[in-house]
Amino acid sequence: MGFIPLTFLFSSYSGKQNELFCYYYEKHAMIFHFDNSYGKLPESFYIPTNPTQVPDPSVLLFNDNLARELDLSPDNMDMEEAAALFSGNKMIPGSFPIAQAYAGHQFGNFTMLGDGRAILLGEHITKAGNRFDIQLKGSGYTAFSRGGDGRATLRAMLREYLISEAMAGLKIPTTRSLAVLKTGAKVYREEVHEGAILTRIASSHIRVGTFEFANRFVPNESSILLDYVIDRHYPDLNLSKSKARDLMEAVMLKQIDLIVQWMRVGFIHGVMNTDNMSIAGETIDYGPCAFMNTYHPETVFSSIDTQGRYAFGNQPSIAQWNIACFAGSLLSMIHEEKEVAIEMAKEVLNSFPAIYQEKWQDMMFKKLGFSKETDLQRRKNSLSTLLDWMTKNKADYTNTFLVLQGDMPMEGIYLQEDFQSWFTNWQDMERGNEEARLKRMRENNPLFIPRNYLVEKALDEACLNDDLRFFKELLDIFTNPYAQNASAASFMKVPDSIDTGYKTFCGT
């Protein structure tokens, strides 16, 4: 490996000098351990497709920490080789590139979809035996591209990288981002953009829409998908006597947990179509998502969500709607008699609201630092009074909790009499348990969230000025959102009229 002591000698020098000395090292290619189980499903589930070659690939961002978690040794990586591999210009040994077939309900309407601009290279197995999809997003035409170009813009891929890594930092299940590459080709939207490819890592890319695809187009193969998903994601259900029903319930519970986490941090997914709901319960597809600043359940940022179908406060009921679609695609496997199957599915589905409400309430109680011993009715009243007050006073969702835990100054609207009397009551509720209360709050209330104006500024600087410094600074802060960081205090501030007119796009 050569010159190892040099890392110690020069580790205190600037990045540039380190880079220089890296040339003394032997560069190495990354070694994947592929086992492509999805590619062994019947051929209706995918179409073997190679990524389209790109003219001049270069690695713009590489997630060393994630690479280490995946047992891919990133140190001293050969960047030219990495550019070739993660652009799809060179095949990674052992990969079996495919475009996955899936359908989905988009804004309530059923459509055939599929990977139109993404290619699954295969499943990489870590030393501990964990399986991860390695997918290239923006890698060119597939049979599912329909009218699209199969490409992605640099801005959209940087946005996905930043927000998905922020979600991981917030400890919320999510697909991850391993790399962003520039392709060297232009992508044409309303304006001309630089083209990019994101390497996306996921427990799998199997969606509710994958089951809808199977049920509609290859119903005889639905049970193969069912068994595959149970083996891969819910192996305990192999012992079940009612696998399809129990899978429906397990996926529902995973979704409930996920949505509760979104509600904890003010995350608005923005396009909760059934093709964007992962069977493994990870947040997937960072198109028009955004974080809510001012608290209001009706908050929507997506330019195409004119009816507010995917508004912040609608996310739980939309998740239930999506699970109903999932149930619909499982019915024939839930019970051979349709009426019985419907009754069984309904029973599961009807349990959604109460389970969600209980979990959401528990989560909100943690944000307020309540212990389980404190009177339940008093906790409920305190929570609902606070949420009403926040709505009425246009309070910032994140910072209100930070004011309570003493990490933001109590000033402005928080000095109003109604808030102060609520605050005194809240303090009285955990009198004597302040330390435990603070601990609970700090574990659940992030200090930093990807504020829309910060994200846009970072993307502007990266895409318009070719300057990634601010992007990387934000990435550092957002990936450690619970850590006290005095030097980053300005990133907690909320400028006036923060989101006036702010819109997000299914930017591709």
| Token couple for 350 | 């009807």
Question: Considering CB distances under 5 to 8 angstroms, the limit depending on partner class, which of ligand AMP, Mg ion, none binds residue 433?
Answer: none
Q: 268 or 331: whose CB is closer to ligand AMP?
A: 268
Rounded least distance, CB 233 to ligand AMP, Å: 21
Q: Does 165 bind Mg ion (CB under 5 A)?
A: no
Task: Please tell me the chain's helix, strand, coil percentages from 3-state DSSP, rounded to the nearest 5.
Answer: 50, 15, 35
Active-site residue list: 275
Q: Does 194 bind Mg ion (CB under 5 A)?
A: no
How crowded is the C-beta side of 174, counted as CA atoms within 13 Å? 24
Question: Considering CB distances under 5 to 8 angstroms, the limit depending on partner class, which of ligand AMP, Mg ion, none binds residue 117?
Answer: ligand AMP
Under 8 Å between Cβ of 237 and 245? no
Q: 113 or 345: whose CB is closer to ligand AMP?
A: 113
Binding piece for Mg ion, criterion CB under 5 A, among 66-74, 234-242, 271-279, 479-487: 271-279
Q: Does 282 bind Mg ion (CB under 5 A)?
A: no
The residue nearest ligand AMP at its CB is 148
Which position among 123, 246, 282, 285 is part of the footprint of Mg ion (CB under 5 A)?
Answer: 285
Residues found near ligand AMP in the complex (CB under 6 A): 113-117, 144-145, 148-151, 275-276, 285, 287, 506, 508
| Residue 391 Cα to chain centre, angstroms | 26
239 exposed, middle or buried (CB, 10 Å; 0-12, 13-18, 19+)?
exposed
In DSSP terms, which residues pair with 111 in a beta bridge?
A: 104
Under 8 Å between Cβ of 74 and 30? yes
Amino acid identity at 372: K
Under 8 Å between Cβ of 73 and 67? yes
How far apart (Å, rounded) are the C-alpha atoms in residues 253 and 304?
29
Q: Does 276 bind Mg ion (CB under 5 A)?
A: yes
Q: 209 or 446: whose CB is closer to ligand AMP?
A: 209
**Cα angle vertex 425, ends 419, 430, to 5°?**
130
Under 8 Å between Cβ of 187 and 194? yes
Rounded least distance, CB 270 to ligand AMP, Å: 10
Q: 251 or 462: whose CB is closer to Mg ion?
A: 251
Q: 94 or 116: whose CB is closer to ligand AMP?
A: 116
Q: Does 212 bind Mg ion (CB under 5 A)?
A: no
How far apart (Å, rounded) are the C-alpha atoms in residues 437 and 440?
5
Rounded least distance, CB 54 to ligand AMP, Å: 14
Rounded least distance, CB 50 to Mg ion, Å: 21
Interface residues toward Mg ion, by CB under 5 A: 276, 285
